[in-house]
Amino acid sequence: MDLFTRTDDPRRNLLPEDGVVEYHGPILSHADADNYFELLLNDIEWRHDEAVIFGKRITTKRQVAWYADEAFSYTYSNTTKTALPWSPMLRDLKSIVETACGETFNSCLLNLYRDGSEGMAWHSDAEKDLVRNGTIGSMSFGAERKFAFKHKQTKATVSQILEHGSLLTMKGTTQTHWLHSVPKTKKVMSPRINLTFRKIRQPNV
Ligand SMILES: O=C(O)CCC(=O)C(=O)O
Ligand SMILES: [Fe+2]
């Protein structure tokens, strides 16, 4: 992918209504993206995620990690997680994403999908611990995967392929009105890493 001839316009909203999703395309050179991918694979404290579904504790195939400004605890999928402190590499990526989207973030959830047999089911990121209508900045590395949106009422769908080193932002009322997912696929044989930078509500805010 040649960074300089691409035509993605990050100001173009991918959603027809009720939210704003912008795809910036790759924001890193291919070589930088390759470097970060290797560092992320090796240096992040990857763990299988735990969730409680219909009262049953399950462990996901996908691996996750959560980093933040402080040892915040954060509840999703009915389990409470405690954040690890930023590493220098994650601080670099956070500041790259902050500059690209003109926002600040205080936490990052990372996902490692070993191949296309691992995905993420339909959900929205509107947990009570997140700042309401806060922007989410999503960076992807490794295998290209489809990222899909489905409107909660109309069931309209929109999707975007997320490239190596790319940034996608979800803003405004997107999480209120739309679900998103990473569908499983038999076509992808290699790993992908995704980082979602978020803003957690600070205690007393
Ligand atoms: O892997 C992705 O692109 C999306 C991850 C996601 O939706 C999440 O972590 O909430
Ligand atoms: Fe999400």
**ipTM topping 0.90:** yes
Q: Which ligand 1 atom sits closest to the C-alpha of 192?
A: 1
**How far is Cα 97 from Cα 91, in angstroms, rounded to an integer?**
10
Ligand with the closest atom to the CA of 23: 1
Give the domains, in start order, of the chain with CATH numbers: 20-198 (2.60.120.590)
Residue with more model confidence, 7 or 201: 201
Instruction: With CA atoms as reference, report the closest residue to 15 among 195, 173, 194, 199.
Output: 173
Higher local confidence (pLDDT), 73 or 44? 44
Interval 97-132: pLDDT, tens: 999 989 999 999 999 999 999 999 999 998 778 888
Using CB distances shorter than 6 Å, the residues near ligand 1 are: 109, 111, 120, 125, 138, 140, 147, 162, 180, 182, 194, 196
Task: Give the C-alpha separation, 196 to 205, whole Å.
Answer: 22
Residue pair 14/146 in contact by the 8 Å Cβ criterion: no
Ligand 1 center from residue 204 Cα (angstroms): 27
What is the C-alpha separation between 51 and 185, in angstroms, rounded? 22
Q: What is the pLDDT of residues 175-200, one digit of tens each?
A: 999 999 999 999 999 999 999 999 98
pTM for this entry: 0.91
In this prediction, residues 156-161 reach a mean pLDDT of 97
Residues near 161 by beta carbon (within 8 Å), at least 6 away in sequence: 144, 145, 146, 147
* Mean per-residue pLDDT over the chain, rounded: 90
CA distance 79 to 77: 6
Structure-block tokens of residue 86: 């930023």
Among protein residues, the one with the nearest Cα to ligand 1's atom 2 is 194
Residue nearest to atom 3 of ligand 1 (CA): 194
Beta carbons within 8 Å of 44's beta carbon, 6+ residues apart? 65, 110, 112
* Structure tokens that stand for 139 in this block: 């960076």
Ligand 2 is a single-atom ion; what residues have CB below 5 A from it? 125
